[in-house]
């Protein structure tokens, strides 16, 4: 019998699309990429990428591996790797990531921590 290998779950197999026709409320958790074109109230958590389209809105905190943000967020952003704010992005909240790029025109109102904390020079060595 040619029993095939057990299917390994791949995040790219499950790309969630939250369209403009729906609103999500609560604790949204995804394994794969999330494309958000509508509205989400609560928290968003994904192990992959978040693509926040222009006109989309998150009211709450979000965590992702990477985030490309063209919509609005009222809440804190935490990315393991990279965050890109495009010219239409409107962010009100704190941001934590390894690499940040901000396009001219983006609005960002909050505190920002970029890079690994262990790479920060200790206070005593500065003198």
Partner 1 sequence: MYLYLYDSFLVEQKYRKTIDQIETRSTDLGINGRTIRLTILKNAREVIKDNLRDEIDTVVVIGSDKLFSESAIALAGTEVALGFIPVGESTLADILDIPKSVEACDVVSGRRVQKIDLGRINGQYFLNSIQIDSAKVSIKCDDLYQIIPSGSIKSIKITNLDWLNFTLSEPDITLEKRASLAKDGLLEVIFSKRPRVTFPLFKKIEQKDSLFYIRKIQFHVLGDREIMAQVDNERILKLPLIIEVIPNCLKLIVGRGHLI
State the residues that interact with partner 1 by CB under 8 A: 1-4, 6-7, 9, 13-33, 35, 38, 42, 51, 53, 68
C-beta of residue 79 within 8 angstroms of C-beta of residue 65: yes
Q: Which is closer to partner 1, CB of 9 or CB of 121? A: 9
The residue among 80, 120, 119 whose CA lies nearest residue 100 is: 80
User: CA 52, CA 80: separation in Å to the nearest integer?
Assistant: 17
User: CA 1, CA 23: separation in Å to the nearest integer?
Assistant: 47
Q: 19: which residues sit within 8 A by CB, 6+ positions away?
A: 37, 38
Q: Which is closer to partner 1, CB of 33 or CB of 96? A: 33
User: CA 19, CA 39: separation in Å to the nearest integer?
Assistant: 8
Shortest reach from residue 100's CB to partner 1, in Å = 17
- What phi and psi values does residue 123 have, to the nearest 5 degrees? -55, -45
Q: Which is closer to partner 1, CB of 11 or CB of 93? A: 11
Q: Which is closer to partner 1, CB of 36 or CB of 97? A: 36
């Amino acid at each position: 019998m040619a029993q095939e290998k057990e299917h390994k779950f791949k995040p790219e197999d499950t790309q969630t699309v939250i369209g403009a026709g729906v609103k999500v409320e609560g604790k949204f958790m995804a394994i794969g990429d999330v494309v958000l074109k509508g509205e989400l109230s609560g928290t968003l958590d994904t192990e992959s990428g978040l693509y926040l389209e222009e006109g989309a809105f998150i009211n709450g905190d979000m965590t992702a591996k990477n985030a490309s943000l063209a919509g609005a967020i009222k809440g804190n952003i935490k990315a393991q790797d990279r965050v890109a704010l495009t010219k239409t992005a409107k962010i009100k909240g704190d941001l934590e990531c390894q690499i940040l790029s901000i396009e001219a025109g983006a609005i960002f109102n909050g505190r920002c921590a970029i890079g690994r904390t262990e790479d920060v020079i200790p206070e005593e060595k500065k003198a």
